[in-house]
Amino acid sequence: MSQLAIQVQNLSKVYQLGQIGTGTISRDFERFFATKILGKEDPFHKIGQTNDRTTKGSSDIVWSLKDISFDIQQGDAVGIIGRNGAGKSTLLKILSRVTSPSKGVIKIRGRIASLLEVGTGFHPELSGRENIYLNGAILGMRKKEIKRKFDEIVDFSGVERYIDTPVKRYSSGMYVRLAFAVAAHLESEILIVDEVLSVGDAEFQKKCLGKMNDVSRGEGRTVLFVSHNIGAVRALCQQGMYLKNGQLEYAGLIEDTVTKYLIDTSGRVGVPIRNREDRIGNGHIRMDEIIFINRQELATEEILSGDYLKIEFQFQKEMDIPIHDMIVACSFSDQYDNKIVSWVSDEMPHQFREKEHNYFTLEIPNFNLRPGSYNFSYQISRKTTAPEDFCDVLNNVATIQVLASDFFYSGKNVRSANSVLLYAAFQ
């Protein structure tokens, strides 16, 4: 019978927005007296609100996590999914003891190795070699244990040439490679990995997923994996947890968890964009409508594989922002939220021009996707693509159905599958 690796009961984390403490000495004293002297609940927690970014809250006290309970068995690989702001990273930080919970009980059996953010646990002035030993010591490893794994860590990370260079001179990709190698190879019982793997290149991500699979299924260690790449989560994990607005919406087998999440998120498709409340951004530029237009200049929701497609964006500006300051990123994803194709305006030879009406178009001469259903998402930002410059971001705003066609002019229609088609010929 397998043992529990992690047991969590009524876990909550509350944050005070905009300031440290409660804002006044009298409120801090009231809080201290209630919790420490009388043993009662923090009075300011009672007015807190869940972390739902689709609605405008009135309280400056927000529950990042609220009353979460779950058990994780030793050797399980658990995928934690949910939208941005759902509380995934906060949960991992609490389990990794980076931050403490506001309420609740956590029982952990074994040592934890965490990879949460780029550079977490690394001292910038120390070399890669010194940071390996430092991280191992923090995890409770003896020098002999670390030394035995050292060569394997360096080989996996691929930074052997720079191992005696201070890590402050590493690129973000090198940071992640070394940090993951340390976390995965040192002999901890529990491995926690956040979305940080997206910093690495595709080859290294594949290598990391393979290593996590070996750690879980081959070595019997417990893995907690947070990612927006649903395909990677499904491939690695057997169990899943779906967080929504700081609460545990569902936990169970990974396929059931992913299905629940996709039904929940895809339910927004079909809601007029102007009525969507789950958008993020400062609203300085705000999308009103997106229209798919076919070769005949007609609005459509279907297109033949390989045919011409134009996407028209209609928007409003709440400030006098020059249109050429906009950066537009958009993509089509499959039913599992895996991004299939994408475009970013500042990578392309373009120049947004001021028009009488606020709109612009993206023209795709050949929509080379196999037959299937694809969801469209966009991100509008100003001058940079940093989160603080987001104006309007929405996922799954519309769906287009790609129909089978004789893409290769072979007399046969191409098969259905959510993937890209390229012209090619066997000789």
Cα–Cα distances (Å) from 312 to 230, 289, 364, in that order, read 28, 8, 11
Residue 13 to residue 65: CA distance in whole angstroms: 5
Instruction: Give pLDDT tens digits for 227-271.
Output: 877 778 888 899 999 999 899 999 999 989 988 887 776 656 566
- Tell how far CA 426 is from the center of its chain: 39
Using an 8 Å Cβ cutoff, are 125 and 203 in contact?
Answer: no
pLDDT at 17: 58
pLDDT at 298: 87
For the chain, domain boundaries: 74-265, 273-403
Residue 225 to residue 239: CA distance in whole angstroms: 10
Tell me the CATH number for domain 74-265. Answer: 3.40.50.300
Residue 251 to residue 241: CA distance in whole angstroms: 4
Tokens of 415: 């098969």
Residue 109 to residue 115: CA distance in whole angstroms: 19
pLDDT at 32: 60
Nearest Cα residue to 122 out of 161, 77, 175: 175
Nearest Cα residue to 381 out of 346, 331, 357, 342: 346
At the second CATH level, the architecture of 273-403 is Distorted Sandwich (2.70)
pLDDT at 49: 46
Tokens of 224: 């907690």
Give the residue ranges of the chain where pLDDT is below 70.
1-2, 17-60, 117-120, 196-202, 265-271, 356
- Tell how far CA 229 is from the center of its chain: 7
pLDDT at 175: 85
pLDDT at 197: 65
Tokens of 413: 């229609």
Tokens of 203: 């080859």
Tokens of 355: 């028009």
Residue 208 DSSP one-character state: H
Q: Report the relative pairing of strands 247-253 and 359-364 from DSSP bridges.
A: unpaired
Can you give the pTM of this predicted structure? 0.65
pLDDT at 277: 81
Q: Between the CA atoms of 44, 49, 51 and 55, what dihedral angle is there, to the nearest 10 degrees? A: -140
Residue 248 to residue 61: CA distance in whole angstroms: 20
Instruction: Give pLDDT tens digits for 82-107.
Output: 887 889 989 999 998 888 898 899 99
Using an 8 Å Cβ cutoff, are 132 and 162 in contact?
Answer: no
In three-state secondary structure terms, 400 is strand
Tokens of 344: 């970013």
